[in-house]
Chains A and B, each alone.
With several copies, the nearest count.
Chain A
Amino acid sequence: MAEQQSLPLGFVRGEPVIEKPEDLYIPPDALEVILDTFSGPMDLLLYLIRKQKLDIVDMPILTITRQYVEYVEMMKELKLELAADYLVMAAILAEIKSRLLLPKPPQEEDEEDDPRAELVRRLKEYEAIREGAEHIDSQPQVGRDILLSEVATDAREHVTTPPPEVTIEDLTLAFSRVLQQVELNAHHHIQREQLSTRQRMSQVIELLSEKKYVAFSQLFKRTEGRAGAVVSFLAILELVKESMIELSQVEPMSDIRISLRNRQQDESVTA
């Protein structure tokens, strides 16, 4: 370990720096922190440039490359699990360095052709993103800086689930579906009757459940007019046909009595 610790941690203007960078906290037993401190090769590169108080555009590629490689070498020496991304960057730097060292025709001395241009562009974009990360981190954050109010409420106890809604269309659709099934099982026959007749049948049955019998004439109301009379008459006929009611006459020409079928018989038996 002692030998490894004497490795230069970096170079400033060609001078090896044996001490760890002062602004980096590196516990003696945990040099891994170096890797944790930098979020990647771009971060390390940016650090090396800023360390010399230089602008990205003026990046001295030779110095930076040497320093970068020293860092990477040190990490390797320490057998830190080095992300391959650091080696990729080392290769990029080496390539730029070699291109810079190659002599080139004077006309082509053009800013566009600066082999550093691409890296400078990337560094600038990375720097902008670092700034963005700082902006985000300095925003008040729910759970860290601000807490949301949690106020008790009894409102949920008042929540009622409304009953399902049914439309007339739903109903007629359901009925026509039943009719289709009936048609399919041809042995059933649904008779053609006016709905008002069926309703009147219910009313007659209900009336007869309460009273033992009613007079035939009681089932006809003057206010309902002719149509009403027809409906009542049809309902009575249908009920007779379905053997649900019985008609009886005590004397000839007297009013006809209507009663539920069987009940009267039952009563006459017990009487």
Chain B
Amino acid sequence: MNQLQLKQLIEAALFAHPQPLSAEQLHQLLLSEGEASLTMVKGLLKELQTDYQERGIELVKVASGYRFQTRAELGQRLASLWQEKPQKYSQALLETLALIVYRQPITRGEIEQIRGVSVSSNIIKTLQERNWIKVVGHKEVPGRPQLYASTKEFLDDFNLSDLSELPDIDTLDEDDERTAETAINEREQ
């Protein structure tokens, strides 16, 4: 094997091996006796590092040996290869959000009373983390519960300039009631 072939062999080994390989390992595992000196292997590794200076991957030396890795500055862009699809929110969260939006300012107790079930702290936390709801004050009743309202970010995220742009479904007129009834009947069956 000539110099070029040896370099190709070392290069291929570093790419194929899942763990880093040291110069000693490469020398011992890959080359037959007397084929090349350890110094020569080290020289070829230096050459390879230079070869990859302008490429999307680089040959770096870590504690256990040499390995190829993607350039650090590309990590952010490469992440899109593994990007996951967003998940979905639960019905409970959507209903809580809807009540805060449509019936603000509203206390947790009031939400629970209307929905007939308790509101989990996780839902409130999630909505606050997304900056969609905020506490605007306290209701002056025993316990002084917090009053929740929607935020500007909520309007921004839903591409609204004003809450009044939301479809008005306050009024359950005759038609709606019939629909609601049908829906309930269906649900009960």
Contacts and interface: CB of A to CB of B under 8 A. Distances in A.
Interface of A: 23, 39-43, 45, 50, 55, 83, 85, 88-89, 122, 124-137, 139-168, 170-185, 188, 190-196, 198-199, 201-203, 205-206, 208-209, 243-244, 260-263
B89 A137 contact: yes
B70 A147 contact: yes
Contacts of A144: 75, 86
A106 B164 CA distance: 46
A167 B16 CA distance: 35
B166 A172 contact: yes
B69 A262 contact: no
Nearest to A134: B183
A168 B104 contact: no
Contacts of A140: 72, 75, 158-159
A179 B172 contact: yes
B79 A158 contact: yes
B47 to A, nearest CB: 18
Contacts of B166: 132, 135-136, 139, 168, 171-172, 195
Interface range on chain B (Cβ under 8 Å from partner): 35 or more
Contacts of B69: 142, 146-149, 151-154
B180 A148 contact: no
A153 B163 contact: no
Given A142-B157, A156-B82, A151 B115 contact: no
A16 to B, nearest CB: 21
Contact of A147 (B75, B101, B156): B75
Contacts of A190: 103, 114, 170
B94 A136 contact: yes
B90 interface: yes
Contacts of A147: 12, 15-16, 69-70, 75, 78
B67 interface: yes
A202 B149 contact: yes
Contacts of B160: 139, 168
B97 A194 contact: no
Contacts of B97: 133, 136, 166, 171, 174
A163 B180 contact: no
B128 to A, nearest CB: 13
B70 A162 contact: no
B177 A55 contact: yes
Contact of A132 (B68, B83, B101): B101
A23 B149 CA distance: 35
B68 A148 contact: yes
Contacts of A192: 170-171
B98 A205 contact: no
